[in-house]
Structure 1
Amino acid sequence: MSKPIVRLLPYFFVGFAFLSFNAAYAQPTETAEQQVDWLQLGMGLFGGLALFLAGLDLLSEGLKKAAGNTLRDVLQKLTVNRFMGAATGAFVTGVLNSSSVTTVLVVGFVTAGVMTLAQSVGVIMGANIGSTVTAQLLAFNLSTYSLIAVALGFFMTFGSKNERSKYMGMMIMGLGLVFYGMGLMSDGMEPLRSYEPFLEILASMEQPLFGILAGALFTGLVQSSAATVGIAIAMASEGLLSLQAGIVLALGANIGTCVTALLAALGKPVEAVRASVVHVLFNIAGVLIWIPFLSILADIAVNVSPAAAEGLVGKDKLAAEVPRQIANANTMFNVLNTMIFIGFTTAFARLAERLVPDRPEPKDKIIQPDFLDDGALEAPTIALENARREIERAGHIALEMMDALGKGAEHHDREALDAVARRDDEVDILSSEIMKYLGRIRQSSLTESESETHQKLVSAIINIESAADIVESDMVELLKIFIDGDYAESSETTRDMVQGLWTCARESLELAVQAVGNSDQRSAQEVLLLKDDIRTLSDQLFERHAKRLDIDEPRYLERVRLLMTFIEQLRHMYTLTKRVAKTQLPVEIATEAA
């Protein structure tokens, strides 16, 4: 059984349990106006909610896997200004059915320096608009046909061998469960249509502060604004909820969803916390400015929504009209807020930076990861890109080690060589953290493409760490012996050849790191093209000194031995960088270059 399905089993279990009790113990009410079967109502409401949440989770999972890297690339390329950022954020969130995934993407871009915090504000604003797509779908009330979608999605998920068809099946099955859960909640609440105490509670929901508080608390509890708006639409479809009450619950859901953002930011880098703070500031400010104008928002929603069929009156009329009105009011609220605040993205960013200042670097830590965000683990494609960035960072440290080693050798600086050796600890720490992170990614359900990328990244970090170890444990020690023994005498020809070999090895490491960091096949191919230069120079050096091994001078022979060993280490370095480069090339090209 696939891991996404296993992860949803608790939802299915709860829903199945409630439905089973419903079938076994439900009894007809004695008087529709006075008697409410609370067991039956609870089973319908909470069982429906469990299936509703399970469907949302499955729908989001299928969308994320079907979208792959496409939406991430769209988000990165189309955020050139605040308006495009907002539009892109709305589009990506609407497709992914998750504003949290969009926020994770944004945080990753800000952390990597690809996007500024001010640019991210526009995307976060747009994400709020995209999150209303779910409410618009729910207002169609397709629960009558929901089991068709569940059955179709199930057979597509488990019966298809094509990956894309499986993910489409997950989406269809998830959407069917969403509507089926909505139908169960709606049917379960039908007895409440004439239960006066409950109607009085719903009437109090029209009081803005009470309704907003209720919506915020429930959203914070279930960690889903879509669930809050979905229940509001389900109640409205039974004629239980007025438009005013539905709007204030939706406003409360916009505040409650900030709890998810704040929880996700706990213990995260400063950029992640700032993005969450922007989310909170924007949502709270948007709710506050609309409280005095709720009646205006309600009037606009009524005017833009279709009227009920003729002949309907009372609760039947409300049941036909209010669900769509709530969905439209929710969308307009977020669209209008974005239009109002889009001009203040820089102000939001500066305020977030003031509220969340830069943290001082921990003095007791040698180094810590910059990109390994646990929140991204919900979207493996994003998490893999985070790991890729951290691997690139480790590779740059290895490159800096090699540069420092060259300078230390040139100036016969033993202290500089000791500093190079200490930097290897940084690579070792990052490598360990990256491997742990990749292990956690592996626990998720990965597509074939993601699994392939995962294997390539594992290979890349192992070989980059090994290259750094060669610099630290082999080259540094060889150069120390060379300096301490005063073996510096050598011909200008030998020095030039060694320098040329060194340059080729260093270039291969730089190109390999670039190939991994940017998924750059051209750089990877350039690493392979250095093979002939490396082989020619090393062979010439071996041949040049092999001819002189008959010289009976122990000091000379020791210098040759050290030189030959150093050349071997440079060749080994190239072998490792070639392995890194091959991870970024198609299998057929990598195999030919073996």
Structure 2
Amino acid sequence: MLILLNILSGVALLVWGTHIVRTGILRVFGAELRRVLGRSANSRLRAFGAGLCVTSLVQSSNATAVLASSFAAQGLLLLAPGLAIMLGADVGTALMARVLTFDLSWLSPILLLGGVVLFLTCKQNRAGQIGRAVIGLGLILLALHLIVEAAQPVMQGEGIKVLFGTLTGDSMLDTLVGAAFAMLSYSSLAAILLTATLAASGVISLKVAVCLVVGANLGSGFLAAIGTLGQNAAGRRLALGSLFFKLAGALLVLPFAPYIARGLSFLIANPRESVVTFHLLYNTLRCLASMPLIDAVARLCHRMLPDRADANPELRPLYLDPGALSTPTLALANAAREALRIGDIIRTMLDNVLELMRTNNAEQARATIRLDDDVDQLYTAVKIYLARISREQLDEADSRRWTDIITLTINLEHAGDIVERVVTNIQEKKILHRLQFSPAGLGELEDLHARVVANLQLGLSVFLNSDLKSAERLLAEKERFRDLERSYSYLHLDRLAGQSQRSLETSALHLDIISDLKRLNSLFCSTAYPVLDAAGALRDTRLRRRVLDATYGKDAA
């Protein structure tokens, strides 16, 4: 029993080590790896290479599958290049298994010592996360060594022989066991490394090891398929296509497992080398043979999972991928994109306001009011998504970005409420009574409206790029708008004194719209303050402290 517990503890350490490496690399290089996958979509060979390289870094084809399926679900990655990425990921896993089965036990204490020192001294920055990944590599090598040591006397126990003897007769059973372990450990790499170690210790036969390897590959395919169940059809198609390739490879190889085992034992004396070599050859040949079949499999996946029209696509977040929450950098990028999408809806509402100031279209007014419900829905989704991101894993820059995203989202939600109020006023005070603004008054409102829309676009650009010059320009536009608002209000009062009939009829509505446009402009221009503050361009005055209190909370100043 003690021997079995030692083996299981080594397996647990192996699984934990692969998890630490994966999360550490994704936290440091997650955004860069995502860009690599996105740029590779133009060429299948490049996509194959991107999948191979990304998986070699994160040591998990499942992590690559999460990134690729997220792209596909968002419409940023077509199915064919996505399948090429998945095939490359399978080869990347096999290459890492080959590297990690070399005798590197001497390297484990060095990696553990260096990784712990780096992580503890630089915990809040990228170097600390790199140290975390180094610790994971050291744990993987240590776990492999512990499993080998614990398995040496395993064949002396009759109970252990009986336990592993159940994996010696049925190829399908052995394959299912390999798939189950890969799914339970969330790592086909861990399953392959364990299989190679058990084969080297004589615990399992080479034929069983071959079946376990095939099963581990199947398990990673099932994991990817299960992980995309909550996504749309585009994301699920990618995982389904990858699973088809793995199923086809298993059906072709499993009938010949006994012959493959005999051939491997004849060519390679070391069982561990035999297992790892088979895994590498199996994945490489299977993936290369699958490349010409990508289009056929893509068509099959489209037939099995067709796109379905969404009755109201505005209500469903497009970019808030739950699979990215474990990687804060990626999750923040997703939340930022969804916030920009809210900005696009606000722009549509503002364009409708311009038409409503010119015409009396009651149906367009009702449609604009309904758009505010979409803004509220997306605002709630972004807020909940940001709340699920672990703040403890964020460094200082990411913490500021988190604050900037939630601040922009709140401001856009307030802007939607203001626009809804403007439209309601136009409905009640203009459209219902079939009134029109005076030509001069309408011209002034159109000028202010154009400036608000321009500042909305500029504010979103500042949020996206953090450009200091654009932020300074945005602040200058805010001052210019304030002067125009005061000037146009005085001009309206002059028209009232001149007894302009249209000005008299729409006076209250005219002044309300000017006031609301000023509030909207202030919300859009507030995007400049975090950029200016980070650059030290805000003076330390009472105004600066009020701005920081409104943006970051009372403790920020």
Q: TM-score, normalised by structure 1?
A: 0.82
Do the aligned partners of residues 522 and 95 (structure 1) sit closer, same or farther apart at CA in structure 2, a change above 3 Å counting? farther
Q: Please state if 1:97 is matched with 2:59.
A: yes
Match of 1:339 among 288, 295, 303: 288
Residue type of the alignment partner of 2:287:
T
Offset of 1:456 from its aligned partner?
A: 1.5
1:466 aligned to which of 414, 423, 429: 414
Which residue of structure 2 lines up, in the alignment, with residue 259 of structure 1?
222
Would the aligned equivalents of 1:97 and 1:133 in 2 still touch at CA under 8 Å? no
Task: Give the direction of change, closer, same or farther, for the CA distance of 1:222–1:413 in structure 2 (3 Å limit).
Answer: same
* 1:373-400 Cα distance to aligned partner (Å, 9 max, x none): 2222122222222222222222222221
SS of 2:153's equivalent in the other structure is helix
Change (3 A) 1:115 1:553: closer
* Match runs of 1:418-567 below 5 Å: 418-442=366-390, 445-478=393-426, 480-485=428-433, 487-490=435-438, 492-513=439-460, 516=463, 527-528=474-475, 530-531=477-478, 534-535=481-482, 537-547=484-494, 550=497, 556=503, 559-567=506-514
Q: 1:397 to 1:299 in 2, by over 3 A?
A: farther
Shift of 1:183: 2.0
Q: Which residue, 329, 335, 357 being the options, matches 1:387?
A: 335
Q: Secondary structure at the match of 1:441?
A: coil
2:94 to 132, 142, 147: 132
2:521 match = 574
Amino acid in structure 1 at the alignment position of 2:253: W
Helix, strand or coil for the counterpart of 2:334? helix
- What letter corresponds to residue 524 of structure 2 in structure 1? T
Distance 2:528 2:17 in 1: 41
1:588 alignment counterpart: 535
What amino acid does structure 2 have at the position aligned with 1:495?
L
Matched to 1:335, the amino acid is: T
Q: Which runs of 5+ in 1 are unaligned?
A: 1-38, 308-317
Q: CA deviation at 1:437?
A: 0.6
Partner of 1:358: 307
Q: CA shift at 1:570, angstroms?
A: 1.2
Paired with 2:247 and 2:528, the residues of 1 have a C-alpha distance of 48
Matches within 5 A, 1:101-180: 101-160=63-122, 163-180=125-142
Kindly state the Cα deviation for residue 420 of structure 1 after the two structures are TM-superposed. 1.1
Q: What does 1:278-297 correspond to in 2, within 5 Å?
A: 278-292=241-255, 294=257
Say if 2:30 and 2:327, in contact at 8 Å, map to a contact too. no
Give the 3 Å change call, closer, same or farther, for CA 278–483 of structure 1 in structure 2: same
- Secondary structure at the aligned position of 1:115 is classed as coil
Matched, 1:76 2:38: yes
Change (3 A) 1:185 1:432: same
CA contact 1:217–1:256 (8 Å) conserved in 2: yes
Look up the SS of the partner of 1:488 in the other structure: coil
Which one is further off, 436-445 or 535-544?
535-544
Greater alpha carbon shift after TM alignment, 68-77 vs 240-249:
240-249
CA distance in 2, matches of 1:586, 1:141: 53
Counterpart CA distance in 2 for 1:53 and 1:484 is: 68
Please report how far the alpha carbon of residue 255 of structure 1 lies from its aligned counterpart in structure 2 after TM superposition: 0.7
Q: Judge conservation of contact 1:152–1:169 (CA < 8 Å) in 2.
A: yes
Are residues 281 and 564 of structure 1, via their aligned partners in 2, closer, same or farther at CA, if it must alter by over 3 Å? same
User: Could you say what secondary structure the match of 1:126 adopts?
Assistant: helix
User: What letter is aligned with 2:448?
Assistant: L
- 1:382–1:296 CA distance, 2 compared to 1 (3 A): farther
Q: Secondary structure at the match of 1:113?
A: coil
Question: How many residue pairs get matched?
Answer: 540
Q: Deviations over 1:312-364 (max 9, x none)?
A: xxxxxx5xx2223322321222121221111222222222222222345368x
For residue 112 of structure 2, what is the amino acid of its counterpart? V
Say if 1:487 and 1:559, in contact at 8 Å, map to a contact too. yes
- The corresponding residue for 2:344 is 396
Residues 503-551 of structure 1, C-alpha deviations (whole Å, 9 max, x = no match)? 1212322344455567788876765564465345434312323445656
Change (3 A) 1:257 1:579: same
CA separation of 1:89/1:520 partners in 2, compared to 1, >3 Å: closer, same or farther? farther
Contact 1:78 1:85 in 2 (8 A): yes
Aligned-partner Cα distance in 2 for 1:177–1:199 = 28
Taking the TM superposition and a 5 Å limit, the aligned residue runs for 1:50-89 are 50-89=12-51
Structure 1 residues 266 and 521: alpha-carbon distance in aligned structure 2, compared to 1, 3 A threshold: farther
1:236 to 2:199 alignment: yes
Alignment partner of 1:271 out of 214, 226, 234:
234
Distance, in Å, in 2 between the alignment partners of 1:584 and 1:121 is 40
Contact 1:475 1:569 in 2 (8 A): no
Distance in structure 1 (CA, Å) of the matches to 2:425 and 2:174: 71
SS state at 2:389 partner: helix
Contact 1:202 1:245 in 2 (8 A): no
Q: Is the 8 A contact 2:61 2:220 kept in 1?
A: no
Rounded to whole Å, the distance in 1 between the matches of 2:6 and 2:136 is 19
Q: Write the distance in 1 (CA, Å) between the matches of 2:533 and 2:95.
A: 39
Is the deviation greater in 138-147 or in 513-522? 513-522
CA change 1:545–1:473 in 2 (3 A) is closer
CA apart distance, 1:250: 1.0
* Distance in structure 2 (CA, Å) of the matches to 1:211 and 1:525: 66
Answer yes or no: is the 8 Å Cα contact 2:391–2:399 preserved in 1.
no
SS in 2 for 1:405: helix
Q: Deviation per CA, 1:383-419, whole angstroms, max 9, x where unpaired? A: 2222222222222222211222222332212332122
Aligned AA (1:246): A
For the structure 1 residues 412 and 552, does the alpha-carbon distance in structure 2 shift closer, same or farther, using more than 3 Å as the test?
A: closer
Per mean C-alpha deviation after superposition, the further-off stretch among 242-251 and 64-73 is: 242-251
Q: Are the equivalent residues in 1 in contact too, given 2:75–2:234 (CA < 8 A)?
A: no
- The verdict on how the C-alpha distance between 1:572 and 1:255 changes in structure 2, with shifts beyond 3 A counting, is same
Q: How is 1:191-230 mapped onto 2 (pairs within 5 angstroms)?
A: 191-195=153-157, 201=164, 205=168, 208-230=171-193
User: Structure 1 stretch 215-224 or stretch 566-575: which is displaced more?
Assistant: 215-224
Change (3 A) 1:552 1:410: closer
Q: What is the CA–CA distance in structure 1 between the aligned matches of 2:426 and 2:318, rounded to whole Å?
A: 33
Structure 1: how far apart are the matches of 2:54 and 2:469?
Answer: 30
